[in-house]
């Protein structure tokens, strides 16, 4: 059966949504089972061209996912961390001051720094406070609102 790259890459995106695929060999097997006779070098090139990333599935196994999936997981993790650790969130200019329980400032600041948030330039952490610096064009007030939204999710 003749197939073009777009069809094959579409099949790859479908497969990784439908089943956990951890290795290139598993991907090649799944493609072959679906009627796409490919070799591992082709699968490897497709993985690279599609920008697939590895993320942990519910069982903790690393599996292929579409680009951006890891970013989404990190932002969801950030929301959970803010809900768990932040006591207050107050804006000032292009800054946001977050207070935490004693000792939790560095852990929450690390979560904030790891999450690819488009409006956060960086953080400075103390024992129970974090200074979040907004990127140019974003205000502390806007950023504080976004972070407070994380606080309210799940609080209903």
CATH of domain 71-152: 3.30.1360.40
Q: Is the pLDDT of residue 39 over 60?
A: yes
Which is higher by pLDDT, 3 or 110? 110
CATH 3.90.76.10 for domain 5-67, yes or no, is no
Q: Is the pLDDT of residue 2 over 50?
A: no
Residue 153: pLDDT band (50, 70, 90) is low
pLDDT at 115: 77
Domains in the chain: boundaries = 5-67, 71-152
**Rounded mean pLDDT of 131-153?**
87
- Number of CB atoms found within 10 A of residue 71's CB: 14
Q: Is the pLDDT of residue 22 over 90?
A: yes
Per the CB < 8 A criterion, the answer to whether 74 and 93 are in contact is no
State the average pLDDT for the chain. 86
Tokens of 146: 């976004």
Per the CB < 8 A criterion, the answer to whether 98 and 81 are in contact is no
Query: CB within 8 A of 125, min separation 6: which ones?
Result: 105, 106, 108, 109, 110, 131
Rounded to 10°, the helix 5-18/40-50 angle is 80
Which is higher by pLDDT, 151 or 66? 66
Write out pLDDT tens, residues 45-104: 999 998 888 887 777 788 898 876 666 666 677 778 888 888 999 999 999 999 998 888
Establish how many alpha carbons lie within 13 A of residue 139's alpha carbon, considering only the half-sphere containing its beta carbon.
Answer: 7
pLDDT at 151: 67
Report the run of H or E that residue 78 belongs to, with start and end: helix 69-85
């Amino acid at each position: 059966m003749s197939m073009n790259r777009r069809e094959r890459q579409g099949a790859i995106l479908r497969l990784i949504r439908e089943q956990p695929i951890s290795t290139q060999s598993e991907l090649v097997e799944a493609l072959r089972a679906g009627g796409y006779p490919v070799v591992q070098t082709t699968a490897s090139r497709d993985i690279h061209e599609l920008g697939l990333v590895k993320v942990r599935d519910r069982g903790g196994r690393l599996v292929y996912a579409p680009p951006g999936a890891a970013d989404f997981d990190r932002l969801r993790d950030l929301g959970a961390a803010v809900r768990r650790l932040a006591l207050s969130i107050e804006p000032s200019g292009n800054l946001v001051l977050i207070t935490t329980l004693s000792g939790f400032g560095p852990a929450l600041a690390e979560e904030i720094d790891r999450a690819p948030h488009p409006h956060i330039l960086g953080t400075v952490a103390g024992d129970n406070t974090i200074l979040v610096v907004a990127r140019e064009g974003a205000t502390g007030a806007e950023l504080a609102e976004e972070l407070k939204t994380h606080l309210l999710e799940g609080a209903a």
